[in-house]
Chain A
Amino acid sequence: MPIASQRTMRFLGRSYMAFVFTPEEPIIDWLAQLDSWLARSPGFFGGRPVVLDLVNVKLHKPGMVHLVACLLERGIRVIGLEGADPAQLGPDLPPLLSGRAVNSNELIALARPEQPAAAPPKQPASLLIDRPVRSGQSIIHPEGDVSVLGSVGSGAEIVAGGSIHIYGTLRGRAMAGHMGNSRARIFCQKIEAELLAINGYYRTAEEIDASYRGRPMQAWLNDNVMMITALN
């Protein structure tokens, strides 16, 4: 058979960032907890990749299929499984991933459409944004701190591996310590935030004490509980 093309086919590996869910038994309670979270932030996981870590639960194949279906019903698409018994997997389940928690020194090359392909792979540890972050914009910086000199608009979001510093008003969402850093903090000159998150622990606008609104504040984690204090 003649070879039509001289070009060789290349398969490249690439790392992506995904949310990891770690269900706990009983699954019913865990799903109920997820539902109450989703009720507060509907559509948050819509279109975002999610990996299911099954180390804490013992599930056989029908259980896993059911769980994946339950999540799909809630608009959450599972792209891979972790910590499951390979013998239990089949073509009707997402593939097994061998992931591990990433420490802050490791570099994750995130596929960002606005970056030209020729961009250098290593990004500086911290990212400085000298203009306002507008509604609908999303700044994702998986390794280091993000500093914003302007304001973060309602409907905008900042995702950082480290801490987030906002020298204007925070009206959108700020998610610090995104890759598993519980020491990350969020600072802002004026808080009107829609959502704060550190290392996966969330707080929505309604749960932020109204007396902090409009004031300078910082948020940090104390034993996995988010603390918010005024800066002045």
Chain B
Amino acid sequence: MGKVLVVTSGKGGVGKTTTTAALGAALAQAGETVVVVDFDVGLRNLDLVMGAERRVVFDLINVIQGVAKLSQALIRDKRLETLWLLPASQTRDKDALTEEGVRQVIAELRERFDWVICDSPAGIERGAILAMRYADAAIIVTNPEVSSVRDSDRIIGMLDSKTERAENGSRIDKHLLITRYDAGRAQRGEMLSIDDVLEILSTPLLGIIPESQDVLRASNVGAPVTLANQLSGAGRAYAEAARRLQGESVAMTVPNQKRGLFDKLFGRRAA
């Protein structure tokens, strides 16, 4: 039986899709079978970030409505054998998702894969609630700024009340992933510090992803950042987060915090 993860945030543009693709690829590289599921019906993006946009024939809505079989809609990644994508529909809206349909699809995916990673749409409406509904664990993606943190707080409250696990009296595992972290700006007080974010959200930290041009470059070439540039700061941080998800204990590093003697002498920031 696989594990179902939802990648969620409340706020848009914080990096949910990037995170879904990067963690999915990192887990698949470690030999696990992974499917990434796009729940952003009507505004799909995961297919682009995965570089599979030209290969979409059937989608999640087709499967839910019984037009296509699950095996027809799943797209295998060209780079990694064990990584699969279930795309969203771009022509429908989120009302086409039904609770029963989503339950069946997730149950079937759970049988076939080690990891089912659901990319939630932004917002707190139907699409976001159905994406989290049947999850075992959640990754809450937050940028270190007040509006994103408050939206994440709202989403955590919903994870504790609207998921199937919460309704059965148990709790969903929650992991906080801080993305687009810029040590320089945090030091100058232009961003919330890691401690501030953790204090407000009181949720265990899964990783800190530095703000990086590599993320944009990777999206543009249609590859998860953990595949496109494994040595980049963001790629490495995502790979470490994936290892933590697998239960390994990996020391947490705050990006760019260590400054060498040279940087201190010349007042340069480490790249």
Contact = CB atoms under 8 A, between A and B. Distances in A.
Interface stretch (B43-51, B130-138, B151-159, B260-268): B151-159
Contacts of B124: 136
Interface string A148-189: 001101111000000000001101000000000000000000
Interface in B193-211: 199-200, 202
Nearest to A155: B150
Given A132-B202, A171-B200, A155 B160 contact: no
Contacts, number: 41
A169 B157 contact: no
Contact of B202 (A136, A150, A154, A155): A150
A83 to B, nearest CB: 40
Given A132-B202, A171-B200, A155 B161 contact: no
Nearest to B124: A136
Contact of A135 (B150, B160, B199, B202): B150
Contacts of A150: 202
B12 to A, nearest CB: 17
A171 B196 CA distance: 13
Interface residues of A, number: 17
A189 B153 CA distance: 19
A134 interface: yes
Contacts of B161: 114, 137
Given A134-B156, A134-B157, A136-B157, A153 B150 contact: yes
A155 B154 contact: yes
Given A135-B150, A135-B153, A136-B154, A153 B160 contact: no
Size range of the chain B interface in the assembly: 10 to 19
Contacts of A135: 150-151, 153-154, 157
A150 B154 CA distance: 15
A100 interface: no
A131 interface: yes
B29 to A, nearest CB: 34
B154 A134 contact: yes
Nearest to A171: B200
A150 B202 CA distance: 9
Interface in B130-176: 150-151, 153-154, 156-158, 160-161
From B124, B151, B161, B200, residue with most partner A Cβ within 10 Å: B200
B199 A154 contact: no
Interface of A: 114, 131-137, 150-151, 153-156, 168-169, 171
Given A134-B160, A153-B200, 9 more contacts: A131-B160, A134-B154, A135-B157, A136-B158, A150-B202, A151-B199, A155-B150, A156-B153, A169-B200
